[in-house]
Structure 1
Amino acid sequence: MKKTLDVTLLQLDNLRPYRRNLEKILAALEEETSDLILAPEVCLTDYDYEHLEEAVAFGEEAEALLLEAVGEKILAFTRLVKRDAGYVNEAIVLHSHRVVHRQAKHRLFPLGEEERYLIPGALEEIRPFEIGGVRYGLLICFELRFKELWRRLEGCDVILVPAQWGLPRKRHLEILARALGVMNQCYVLVANSAREDMARSSLVASPDGGLILEDMAERIRGDLDLRNVRLLRRYLKVY
């Protein structure tokens, strides 16, 4: 297992046309030296329900380009995907020019229109996955609120949270992410949307309660000392 992990969180607005969003991510892949880059929820197209087919088609094109560009980095983001039963918001993790994890959003946000246009992913898709000896988990935005989902990711070293979390509940995002890090004794990374009505609050929460929090930057960088995860779990067993 790696001792340290350099990460970059992207705090991006949703721009038009879609390609401008893709260019932001491609630029980060080219310019950042981080091991891992996390982008916000539906960062490529936003929840463009009026043009779902167009959004899905662009997401497919973008994924192919990102697969080519990702190299040895890890890139995590979500996009709108059409499955046999309907449309989903799917998290995708890329590494070494391949998809290493897919996970559709299980808990749809009732205050938006997600339940009208999207179907929920299966609970079983929320599960740990491993890259380079590091154990990862992923929750998509609203899923951060559900403690039963925290339990599914016990034992993860790093939990990724791509989000489009609204401004009125800004404090909730910061408190929940920090609590998850302490409870599961892991690092929690949140990349939130920079849209005007969003909370921003992209952050790195440490297993010991430490916090890197940034509201204004487009790229937030952090260094994770994974030895802290092992040390806490050795001396303070909580599950």
Structure 2
Amino acid sequence: MISRKLYSMQMKTGQDFEENLRIIEDFIAHCGKNAIICTPEVALSGFVYQKINEAGEFSKVATERLLECSAKYKNTLITTMIEQKNKKFFNNLKVFHKGEIIHKQSKNKLFTLGDEQLHFKAGEKGEISIFDIDGVKCAALVCFELRFVELWEQIRGADIIFIPAQWAKARKNHFEILSQALAIANQAFVVSSNSANDTMAKGSSIITPYGIVYKNDKKSFVACEVDISETSRMRKYVNTGIRIN
């Protein structure tokens, strides 16, 4: 049995960047050693296009503090934040693991209904790839990227897939159905973390390779201790050609 403690945050993101960061830091401390935590998309700031420069600068501060926090509590955090490079802004996913950034990817599929393409530069598709957390193969899709099945294929073989999101209420069932379908199709655990802001769908969940969903829209997080070897058992039981680790 390969046991891992998985946490999906279902937090509200307010206008106070410092308070948002404090909420995340306190939650990391609460989860303790070896936890793997996923936050909603841009949980530090939200999509504050009117303060995008300020958000980009705050991400520098947040990065240093999250590095310190993940080192102190010896756990892992998956989150996204607004960052600037070469005068362009990106929605960057970072994996903080025990005091290091072990993976980074920029959101490739920008959500045109939210005018993301007017404010962000799209990341390279090739950055969406499998990475390792303490011997466990992991991957991530950012919000709108969940809709693109070719990206599901790109990360086949991951044991855990993280989805930080800001998914609206109007399409709540899409978020929940697609998250469950991804777990079943890729025979992997899926940790989806959606915002609890007033216009957002919540629906955060931890889903098993068999498609069993753990969620609670009344809480600020979802937690589950899982056996990672369930992915291998599922891939042997229903052989769809996914490599067995």
Alignment TM-score, normalising by the size of structure 1: 0.97
CA offsets 1:149-187 (integer angstroms, 9 cap, x no match): 000110000000000000000000110000000000000
Q: Quote how far apart the aligned CAs of 1:232 are.
A: 1.1
Q: Could you tell me which runs of 5 or more consecutive residues in structure 1 were left unpaired when the two chains were aligned.
A: none
Matches within 5 A, 1:28-39: 28-33=27-32, 35-39=35-39
State the alpha-carbon separation in 2 of the partners of residues 223 and 70 from structure 1. Answer: 19
One-letter amino acid of the structure 2 residue matched with residue 58 of structure 1: F
Q: Distance in 2 between matches of 1:134 and 1:96?
A: 15
Change (3 A) 1:78 1:189: same
| CA positional deviation for 1:85 | 5.8
One-letter code of the match for 1:129?
A: F
Residues 164-173 or 222-231, more deviating:
222-231
For normalisation by structure 2, the TM-score amounts to 0.95
1:75-154 matches, within 5 Å, as 75-84=77-86, 86-154=88-156
Residue aligning to 1:48: 48
Residue number in structure 1 paired with 2:208: 206
**How many residue pairs are counted as aligned between the two chains?**
238
Moved more, 37-46 or 78-87: 78-87
**Aligned AA for 1:221?**
A
Cα distance in 2 for residues equivalent to 1:90 and 1:214: 27
The answer to whether structure 1 residue 6 and structure 2 residue 43 are counterparts is no
SS at match of 1:209: coil
Equivalence for 2:21: 22
- What is the CA-CA distance between 1:190 and the residue it aligns to? 0.5
User: Alpha-carbon deviation of 1:16?
Assistant: 2.4
Match of 1:94, SS state, is strand
Counterpart secondary structure, 1:28:
helix
Superposed CA offset, 1:163-216 (max 9, x none) = 000000000011000000000000000010011000000001111110102212
Partner SS for 1:70:
helix
Tell me the alpha carbon deviations over residues 53-110 of structure 1, each in whole angstroms, 9 at most, x when there is no partner. 1000111101100100112201010000112261110000001100000010000001
Q: Give the whole-Å Cα distance in 1 for the aligned partners of 2:53 and 2:87.
A: 15
- The aligned runs of 1:140-219 (5 Å cut-off) are 140-219=142-221
Range moving further from structure 2, 24-33 or 152-161: 24-33
DSSP 3-state at the match of 1:111:
helix
Identity %: 32
CA deviations over 1:93-142 (Å, ceiling 9, x no partner): 00110000001000000100201110100001000001111000000000
Q: Residue 63 of structure 1 aligns with which residue? A: 63
C-alpha displacement of 1:220:
1.4
After TM superposition, which residue ranges in structure 1, 4 or more long, deviate above 3 angstroms? none
Distance in 2, matches of 1:87 and 1:119, equals: 6
Alpha-carbon distance in structure 2 between the residues aligned to 1:51 and 1:98: 28
> C-alpha distance in 1, partners of 2:40/2:237?
34
Give the 3-state SS of the residue equivalent to 2:171 in structure 1: helix
